[in-house]
Amino acid sequence: TEACLSVIEGSGALNAFVHNTPEIARAQAKAADARLAAGDAPAMCGLPIGIKDLFCTKGVATQAASRILEGFTPEYESTITAKLFDAGSVMLGKLNMDEFAMGSSNETSVYGDVVNPWKVDDRTLTPGGSSGGSASAVAADLCLAATGTDTGGSIRQPAAFTGIVGIKPTYGRCSRWGTVAFASSLDQAGPMTKSVRDAAMMLEVMCGHDAKDSTSADLAVPNFEAMLTGDIKGKKIGIPKEYRIDGISAEIAKLWDDGAAMLRDAGAEIVDISLPHTKYALPAYYVIAPAEASSNLARYDGVRYGHRAKLAAGDGIDDMYEKTRAEGFGHEVQRRVMVGTYVLSAGFYDAYYNRARRVRTLIKQDFENVFAQGVDAILTPATPSAAFGLGEMSESDPIQMYLNDVFTVTVNLAGLPGISVPAGLSSEGLPLGLQLIGKPWEEGDLLNIAHSLE
């Protein structure tokens, strides 16, 4: 804990931690020492971690990297952080992220951009988003692990950009209670770690039924670490042809082929599969996620939480809402709220929102079909490229940014578990990740297959 605290102190240039909690960390570390001395060693005992600013932490500022939550201090602990603390984890502080987890480059945060510790010449690179602070902090050894959340790729893409492991579990595995909501039918928490073994350990602590989240699954949580046998003989790994998108770079194609070869050498059977509705995933996601966001973010009205705009004489309640939301939300969040409100409006609901929901069902059925054919997991690239430079993607062309999620959003739409594992370096020497997609509730199997790629 002391070592991490001192490295964090010198890490300002990365802008990964936005709120340090050294007093809490030291108190938790002391308590962990006492538990160890008493012969009680829970899974995460004394392990210093960082917490994404999306998780409510009792008595510790939580802003989802948004101005609108300025001054908000939760009076309750999220289920995820409570479970981690019960298991002995030490919280070093809160980690930067894209505002309300909307973004793929950590450039929408009220705290400013996060910097990737990996560099090429003097280009300053993004760690990806939205869990960019978590990724940067783990990759730069500011903490041993961090929590992330993934609505369309926000654990897996930053993990790939920084050379670490990130897993999004099956929808319903981790409680969403006390985690600031973005798109409730897609959001899942997960660990971001240096190795698959660490991910297995931490995920086990984070999972489990929670009566406070009605979508939380009442299923036993296996010992994931014990499932890392390294034996993947006879596992059927699908290679979906639709992921070989137009313009896929030669180095990403090679990474993918090399990954398949590694799994084959380890005894797996590699099969070609088809997920025919893949091309509709990105447009469906960018209808469904903003629709849910526009509804979830309606609560930030200047009355109940955080920031409230200064009002002029004669302003009424509508002025208060309007001014507060105009000042409190950044551009990307405003764009999503407007898109979401539009697709949910009476005249367009059927044409956009309902159609996107039907597409979502077809995407889910694509996966069900290949799993019914005996496929155990699906191998794809995690991202279409290595980390890009901060400021390189234009804010006026959001589609360019959204295309980063092309390999990850299908997994959230289908509610499946997905993991990103570091798999090699680009020609410029930057980390690249491979994604494995698993069957629902089969995170243990997925982690074990991912372990063979390490």
Catalytic residues, by residue number, are: 52, 130, 154
User: If binding is defined by CB under 6 A, does position 134 make contact with ligand GLN?
Assistant: no
Minimum distance from residue 97 beta carbon to ligand GLN (Å)? 8
From 6-14, 66-74, 150-158, 245-253, span contacting ligand GLN (CB under 6 A): 150-158
Q: Say how many residues touch ligand GLN, by CB under 6 A.
A: 13
- Of the candidates 200, 281, 289, 343, which one interacts with ligand GLN according to CB under 6 A? 289
User: If binding is defined by CB under 6 A, does position 193 make contact with ligand GLN?
Assistant: no
Minimum distance from residue 28 beta carbon to ligand GLN (Å)? 27
Between residues 146 and 289, which has the closer beta carbon with respect to ligand GLN? 289
Between residues 189 and 430, which has the closer beta carbon with respect to ligand GLN? 189
Minimum distance from residue 243 beta carbon to ligand GLN (Å)? 17
Between residues 72 and 100, which has the closer beta carbon with respect to ligand GLN? 100
User: If binding is defined by CB under 6 A, does position 153 make contact with ligand GLN?
Assistant: yes
User: If binding is defined by CB under 6 A, does position 152 make contact with ligand GLN?
Assistant: yes
Site string for ligand GLN, 8-47 (x = CB under 6 A): ----------------------------------------
User: If binding is defined by CB under 6 A, does position 375 make contact with ligand GLN?
Assistant: no
169-188 positions binding ligand GLN, by CB under 6 A: 182
User: If binding is defined by CB under 6 A, does position 435 make contact with ligand GLN?
Assistant: no
Between residues 150 and 376, which has the closer beta carbon with respect to ligand GLN? 150
Dmax (CA) of the chain: 74
φ, ψ (nearest 5 deg) of residue 435: -110, 135
DSSP 312-364: -TT--HHHHHHHHHHHHS-HHHHHHHHHHHHHHSTTTIIIIIIHHHHHHHHHH
User: If binding is defined by CB under 6 A, does position 292 make contact with ligand GLN?
Assistant: no
φ/ψ bin of 314: left (φ > 0), alpha (ψ from -120 to 50), beta (otherwise): left
Of 88, 76, 107, nearest in space to 47 by CA: 88
- Of the candidates 53, 99, 113, 150, which one interacts with ligand GLN according to CB under 6 A? 150
User: If binding is defined by CB under 6 A, does position 101 make contact with ligand GLN?
Assistant: yes
Minimum distance from residue 288 beta carbon to ligand GLN (Å)? 10
φ, ψ (nearest 5 deg) of residue 80: -60, -50
Query: Which run of H or E residues covers position 425?
Result: strand 418-425
Minimum distance from residue 402 beta carbon to ligand GLN (Å)? 7
Strands (DSSP E) found in 159-230: 165-168, 188-193
What is the rounded CA–CA span in Å between residue 147 and residue 51? 5
Could you tell me whether strands 145-150 and 90-95 are parallel, antiparallel, or unpaired per DSSP bridges? unpaired
- Of the candidates 154, 175, 188, 294, which one interacts with ligand GLN according to CB under 6 A? 154
Q: Cα separations (Å) of 344 from 84, 295, 352?
A: 37, 9, 8
Minimum distance from residue 295 beta carbon to ligand GLN (Å)? 15
User: Within 13-166, where are the H helices?
Assistant: 22-37, 79-86, 132-139, 156-162
| Residue 202 in tokens | 């931490």
User: If binding is defined by CB under 6 A, does position 88 make contact with ligand GLN?
Assistant: no
Minimum distance from residue 283 beta carbon to ligand GLN (Å)? 13
Between residues 154 and 420, which has the closer beta carbon with respect to ligand GLN? 154
User: If binding is defined by CB under 6 A, does position 113 make contact with ligand GLN?
Assistant: no
- Of the candidates 44, 49, 82, 102, which one interacts with ligand GLN according to CB under 6 A? 102
Between residues 88 and 152, which has the closer beta carbon with respect to ligand GLN? 152
Between residues 164 and 268, which has the closer beta carbon with respect to ligand GLN? 164
Between residues 228 and 419, which has the closer beta carbon with respect to ligand GLN? 419
Minimum distance from residue 166 beta carbon to ligand GLN (Å)? 11
Minimum distance from residue 150 beta carbon to ligand GLN (Å)? 5
Half-sphere CA count of 6, side-chain side, radius 13 A:
2
Beta bridge partners of 380: 435
Of 63, 100, 77, 70, nearest in space to 28 by CA: 77
Beta bridge partners of 60: 57
Beta bridge partners of 90: 48
The radius of gyration of the chain's CA atoms, rounded to the nearest angstrom, is 21
162 and 64 in contact (C-beta within 8 Å)?
Answer: no
In the sheet with 418-425, reading across from the earlier edge strand, the strands are 17-20, 90-95, 48-52, 145-150, 188-193, 165-168, 418-425, 431-438, 377-381, 236-240, 269-273
User: If binding is defined by CB under 6 A, does position 104 make contact with ligand GLN?
Assistant: yes
84 and 128 in contact (C-beta within 8 Å)?
Answer: no
- Of the candidates 48, 88, 103, 169, which one interacts with ligand GLN according to CB under 6 A? 103
Binding site for ligand GLN (CB under 6 A): 101-104, 130, 150-154, 182, 289, 405
